[in-house]
Amino acid sequence: MATAEKVPLNLIEVILAQGSCLTELSRSVSCSEHVLVSQQPPLPIKMARDMAQDTANSSSTSEDITRELLAFIARPSVSDEEFNELALRIFARQFMLNLPFQRFCQLRGKTPRLVKSWRDIPAVPIDAFKEFTLSCLPAEDCERVFMTSGTTRGEVKGRHHHPNLAVYDASMLRHFSEHFMQGDARLPMGILFPTETLMQNSSLAHYLGLAMQDFGSADSAYYLDQNGLRTDALCEALRKAEQSGQAFALLGASYSFVHLMDELQVRGLSFALPKGSRILDTGGFKGQSRDIPMDAFYAQLSATFGVDRRQCINMYGMTELSTQFYDAGNRSVPSVKRGPHWLRSRLLDPLTGQEVAHGERGILAHTDLANVNSVVTILTEDVGVATDDGFVLLGRAQGAQAKGCSLAVEDFLKAARG
């Protein structure tokens, strides 16, 4: 019979004393020979202790790796080997400094010693951001925490800890500049989302704030606040753009656009924004507005603002990542999403974790080197299909519904929600 073997408390104490942030596991950690992948014994005490010693230097390591990563992001491109090499080092560091992640890897039988390719780094289900603190640096030493909006599991929110936002910002700016700014230095921007001050834990609020600060011209403004959409002010800005011929950029959550278009429809208003104007929407509808088919959404966006669908760009991002994906407009949907050279995506069979054959549907996993403090590879709940240079998003993996009267968990949750 298997008995639960405890990691000696003194080890926990060592780790805690040296700044590990893993309070959930402070009481003790179970490990048994019958867990899912049994070949992997718990770490020998000495090795674990050595590793714990290393955490003493974690702050300098953190700076080193951040510096290195920033340089990596700044490069025009990288080779497969270079990506692999940095990914493995980031993984090894996260394995060492993050106990829940380490335990998860052991469960999966993947340790730095065995993982030779970035593809073998265990993909952490995004739910884990709700259940555990996934941070190399103690959570309390992290400058920012981005939280998920908690749409899928009620109150429990996923937390993504960022020691500082240097990497996040560099990643965002570099990729945003390429795919959205398309050579323009600054544009007048209208943001359909609350400011970062209003939503401190929203990565999207930060993202949009950054976009406006670095790429917005002086007359850029927010058109959504505590009181809702500032439609009058926005209409004025849009008319002004129409008259001046200056290209305008409208950015915000997809559902904000739905609300705005509903409102404009009531007022019988539409616009013909100057050439070069563009729109960025993100996040889908999340039950925040009526759910409309993608094609209808972009058709309506294009018709309402006079922006070519090729300039209606969708950003795919998530709190659990530090980098975003963009498409090259939505002339046809679903569009192909692409990430930058420090981010690689794969489509996996959710059960085996193996990549599905090219062209088959799979669950998206992303290896984002900018996730330097959390977990470098995450497993999403999104279904996609790989294309030659990116992937097409097909929606969320709605758990299968049972075909009859047997109650499967998904039906049950639905029933419970009424």
Which residues sit at the interface with another protein, rule CB under 8 A?
Answer: 1-2, 4, 6, 24-25, 28-30, 32, 34-37, 100, 103-104, 107, 125, 127-128, 131-132, 349-353, 361-363, 381, 383, 397-412, 414-415
Question: Minimum CB separation from another protein for residue 155, in Å?
Answer: 16
Residue 319 in tokens: 């709190």
Pick between residue 188 and residue 284 the one whose CB is nearest to another protein.
284
Helix (H) or strand (E) holding 5: strand 5-6
Question: Minimum CB separation from another protein for residue 401, in Å?
Answer: 7
What Rg, from alpha-carbon coordinates, does the chain have? 23
Question: Minimum CB separation from another protein for residue 402, in Å?
Answer: 6
Pick between residue 3 and residue 77 the one whose CB is nearest to another protein.
3
Please check whether residue 277 is in contact with residue 253, taking contact to mean a CB–CB distance below 8 angstroms: no
Backbone φ/ψ region at 182: left (φ over 0), alpha (ψ -120 to 50), beta: left
DSSP 358: T
Pick between residue 104 and residue 326 the one whose CB is nearest to another protein.
104
Question: Minimum CB separation from another protein for residue 392, in Å?
Answer: 14
Question: Is 250 in a helix, a strand, or coil?
Answer: strand
CA-CA distance, 194 to 202, in Å (whole number)? 10
Pick between residue 126 and residue 192 the one whose CB is nearest to another protein.
126
Sequence-ordered list of residues with C-beta below 8 angstroms from that of 410, at least 6 positions apart, any chain: 398, 399, 400, 401, 402
Question: Minimum CB separation from another protein for residue 11, in Å?
Answer: 16
Pick between residue 178 and residue 410 the one whose CB is nearest to another protein.
410
Question: Minimum CB separation from another protein for residue 200, in Å?
Answer: 27
Please check whether residue 273 is in contact with residue 239, taking contact to mean a CB–CB distance below 8 angstroms: no
Pick between residue 40 and residue 300 the one whose CB is nearest to another protein.
40
CA-CA distance, 109 to 186, in Å (whole number)? 49
In which residue are the tokens 């965002």 written? Answer: 172
